[in-house]
Copies of this chain bind each other. A is one copy, B any other.
Amino acid sequence: MKKDLGAKTILFPTPVLVVATYDGQGKANAMTAAWGGICCSDPPCVTVSVRKARHTYDSLMERKAYTVNIPGKGHAWEADYLGVASGKDEDKFAAAGLTAVKSGFVDAPYIEEFPLILECKVVHIADLGAHTQFVGEIMNVKADAAMMENDRLPLIEQIMPLIFAPSSGNYYTIGEEIGKAFSAGKEKKLT
């Protein structure tokens, strides 16, 4: 039996996206967002949503560039800290013990310690209410060489990304492999 819960932002899974930018003074900053995801295959695009009061909002409007940095399960504290503190008040990179490296592809820094990075140029902005959505064209993806298969694609089992559950507010990582996409549905049922 289903129960109606009203208008809420509950979706499983949501990602843990650390959005890194340079502000007007060229200071590197990063904030954690759970509202976002891939939104187009060609050109490859990702979207992140940011509140207007955020320091990152001003930086995104000014620089029109950001990186999405995916924390592994060993960086839950850093990811959470970057979500609760503000770059208006402090140097979040220093406080979190993280290293900002200038992207060679876009006008934004990335986080050296995180295993998977998407380097993006803002191509579409939509004011949706409390949040503004920034669609970024992915100009390059970089990943830790040690976490790839055949030096080609990063492996989720190596990255072990954080996953956010909006209802409980807990972080998880991935678990059991269930099946192969674009094949299970063509063949017999998974057991």
Contacts and interface: CB of A to CB of B under 8 A. Distances in A.
A84 B118 CA distance: 27
Interface in A107-166: 112, 116-118, 123-124, 126, 128-131, 133, 135, 137-146, 148-149, 151-156, 159, 161-166
Interface in A1-43: 1-15, 34-43
Interface in A63-83: 68, 70, 73, 76-83
B40 A8 contact: no
Interface residues of A, number: 104
B178 A73 contact: yes
B179 A80 contact: yes
This chain's copy number in the assembly: 2
A180 B171 contact: yes
Nearest to A167: B153
Contacts of A118: 10-11
Nearest to A97: B189
Centre residue among A36, A45, A139, A152 by max chain B CB count within 10 A? A45
A190 interface: yes
Nearest to A110: B2
A73 B73 CA distance: 22
A131 B40 contact: yes
